Amino acid sequence: MTSFTGQLWEENLPVFEKTLQLPFNQELQRGTLSTDKFTFYIYQDSLYLADFARALAFTGTRAPGSALLLDFLEFAQNAILVERALHESYFQEYQIGYTTGKAPGCFAYTNYLLATSAYEPFEVAVAALLPCFWIYKKVGDHIYAHQTKPNPYQNWIDAYAGEEFATAVAKALSICDRLADATTDAIRQRMQQAYATSARLEYIFWDSAYRQETWVV
């Protein structure tokens, strides 16, 4: 029998396949992505991670038990540590000095996660947060397996294809499956909708970075 998260993956596979085909990920895989596009992405990712950590922490405070609370606070802490690491490594290496704030794609994604973590049932918030774990891991694994070497972005590729991140993803998947198994059909449907929305926003985030998206006015 297919697990709930397995069902989510199958339902949203076309979005993931299109995400892999985005110029950003194709050029990252080949090592031909321009530095300005990569640094724009890193800056937006740092802004995203700060709010992702807030959404994780807030979701954790609504957990039905202390074990889940600790899990989500640990997820939030790790997101903050990754955000700090970006500043200590990539921001210095590439001398990133953007001050423009969130691009529209980042703004849409983070505000969706923050709103969902605040106003939707705990289970729905967990499903909305899952694509950032799972799709990032899947994209990282794909790029790692098919990359052109040497690759100037090897450190990024190694981080998202690494075992430490894989452990966090496995835990997030397990939590989502347990919650789905224990809730109602109506909540499961809302979980499916939340996951699908975030999967699409993952696509938009990478596309936004490649286009170095800005506000019209």
In this predicted structure, what is the pLDDT of residue 105? 97
Token pair recorded at residue 97: 């000095």
In this predicted structure, what is the pLDDT of residue 159? 79
Distance of CA 72 to the CA centre of its chain: 15
Residue 217 domain flag: no
Domain count, the chain: 1
Q: In whole angstroms, what is the distance from residue 98 CA to residue 39 CA?
A: 9
Average pLDDT, consecutive stretches of 10 residues, N- to C-terminus, the chain (217 residues): 96 98 97 96 93 97 96 94 82 90 97 98 98 93 94 87 85 98 98 98 97 94
Residue 62 maps to which CATH number?
1.20.910.10
Range of the domain at 183: 4-95+102-210
Residue 215 domain flag: no
In this predicted structure, what is the pLDDT of residue 150? 94
Q: Which residues fall within 8 angstroms of residue 52, CB to CB, at 6 or more apart?
A: 79, 110, 113, 129, 132
In this predicted structure, what is the pLDDT of residue 161? 77
In this predicted structure, what is the pLDDT of residue 162? 73
Q: pTM for this structure?
A: 0.95
Helix (H/G/I), strand (E/B), else coil: 63: coil
